[in-house]
Structure 1
Amino acid sequence: MGSSPSTLERHGYTVVRELGQAVLVNSKDGDQCVIKKINLREETGKGSGNTDVCDAVETLLGLSHPHIVKHKTAFADDEYMYIVSEYCSGGDLYQKIKEQSEKREAFSEEQILDWILKICMALKYLHDLNVQHGDLQPKNIFFTEYGMIRLGEFGEFNERARQAGSTKDGALSYISPEILDGKTHDEKSDIWALGCVLYELCMLKSAFSAESTVKLIPKILNGSYPPLPHNISHNLQQLIEETLQTDPGKRPLAGEIIWKPFVLSFLTARSEKSIDELNDNLVKLRALADGLEKVHYGATVGSLTGGVIGAAGGITSIVGLILAPFTLGASLIVTGVGVGVAVAGGATAGISNITNMVNQSTDRKNIRSIILEFQEKMNSVVICLQHITEGMEELKHQISLKNEQQSPSGGTIVKVGTRVSRGLGAVPELVRLLQVANMGKVAAQAARAVRVAEVATGVFSAFFVALDVFFIAMDAKEIHNIRTTKASEADDMKSKLVLQSPEATDSDSGADQEPKSETMKFVKKIRETADELQMSLDELKEIISFIPKLPDIDA
């Protein structure tokens, strides 16, 4: 990256490796981030000034959408402005297309629609803020470690951050005809690039390619791309045709794409599926609480009696059966712990092993990732529900316009309505559903979904606080309690532990008594969090039930 390591170090970042025009770093909290820099002196020399740079950076930092890369913070020294963003360790869309092409396997249409519509939602969010992406292509579409798609690498910012002499590798294939004609980039230029990405997902090759730039430019100007095969659905073919119109005025807006009947039907079904997946995650979260409770019980028994933790109810079962399917990166419990050598029927684990276990920063990060994944997916569902309700309202409005047009005193339907409502007249069932739908109630569900997300945000925040408290306070309190108990009541406790269940180990006074150990406090918090999130999911499922189910349309 060529930046002074001391600048990054002063702000708590340790360089891991170079990433092209950026650098991968570890923060002081153990999170991996990406840092790009802008040469402030060069910007001043170009006449743009530092104020323009600060405004651009402020815009990036203000963006908040589940399908846009998060820009966390920024800082500067005498020469550079540094922008810190999240690291998407799942690779980019270019890599996924390349891998699929090498396997000669097409993406499913469900997968294509899921990805392209989430990027379209991100574009609508940007365009509503009067922000254009400016460099939309597969290399700038990323995936997080748990598969969430993110739009990043904004064009204007990349131009400022790009080193002298470097070029936009392959970007010409995604540039719209009007840009080649010397016109200014706008939101319709982003839609052209979206169409290019959609075509590439369907065909596993670029819509516009040639041996040289001289041969490529005429193809783009004429909108000349290889025809799609008949096995591509009519809906996708029509969407590609509309987004790759050489006349920007004929291309749909991002919102018009989302409001298409077949898209709304897809988003509704996808939201229902996502809620089912999130319910599965809550089952695993509760299993995590049960597993931690068993480890706590086993550690207490082992420290008081000199015994060992059995594999059936201890660390081995948690790692193998509970955490492995859904923790990210290194496994919780085992990482950096040195729990001992596995033996037939059990594993040795002294109290010092447990102490080391709970203090591992990677353990805290992995538990946090479980909740962050849930949070991001839930936010994505809420965004989908908002777009669905907006689309329903728009479609009903277009039906009203069509009815007015058919009356003697009616006017004409605007181009926007024509694109959104194309084919409505041929689908009587859809028209009937929208005519009888109570759009007031439907619209109220979008606001209700936002409130659900706000409540869930509070739940997530409280859990993160409890998580930090657990990992900070566990050592001294847990070991002190165990050693004190061992010294004063060893014989008495030994007899009780033979008879007690794990749930009874922490308290003799009943389930309602506040647990004394930090482990059991955290177990209780996990279960409370799971119950609260369950209520949020149940409410989202109820919200979806209010939305009219549109028929599948391929027209």
Structure 2
Amino acid sequence: MEGSSERAYDRHGYSVHQEELEERERFLSEFPRVKADLKERIEKLRALADKVDKVHRDCTISSLVANSTGAVSGILTILGLALAPVTAGTSLVLSATGMGLGAAAAVTGVSTSIVEHVNTVSANAEASRLMATRCDKGQVVRAVRQSTVKVLSLTKNCKEVLRGMEKNINAIRIAKANPQLVANAKRLMDSGRISARSGRQVQKAFGGTTLAMTRGARITGVATTGIFLLMDVVSLVKESIHLHKGAKTESAEGLRQQAQELESKLEELTHIHDLLQAGLTQ
């Protein structure tokens, strides 16, 4: 009789250790809380995946706008270079407009890249917490550092563009007031044969604009701009196809797989719970 307090018996007369009964009762008692917690985590992971896809889709649209603006900027820049020997005023206006659109495209592109990258890193960090795994803090730090570098680079680029636009605006004013200087600039662009004094005057008035470029420099400029224009068009086509296919991301798919893993665990626990419940009711 001494060991009877340490054992319990079910209705079929099978011996069951008291510890096993306590574990079973503890599992049945904790299961509702665990089930609710897992369901909440699964819903949050899927919500994160949907958010990542939505942000990526919005960023893809923004990239399309940036690439389109970049393409227009390239076209205007090429026209500005091509028309420089023909019409100085129009060339300068086209060049300044092209610079402005190029800067706008750069700002949009970099901002879009930063928004998507930070959102993805943040979603992965939250997913790590939901999956009870260690969060890679280094990845978060790298994301912030990369964003800072991009912003600094963009700031420097925008300052250069503003200086270039300012030069074109000043050149337009000077060209209107000094037709002879424009004529000298056209001779420099056409043949490169002008006096040293006239060359210095042209460079002082129009330096940094299409009116101070030789024929070879303009051809090089057209070729270089053409390459960037081609890259913008290729990116535009790729982004359009990607958007047409739904603009899904690997990161979002990974989050959904994690949610599926938790759902599989929940199904296993639910199955065990049902078995134990059935055993108690028999």
Q: What TM-score, normalized by structure 1, do the two folds share?
A: 0.21
Higher strand share: 1
Higher helix share: 2
Bigger relative contact order, structure 1 or 2 (CA pairs below 8 A, ≥6 apart)? 2
> Radius of gyration: which is bigger?
2
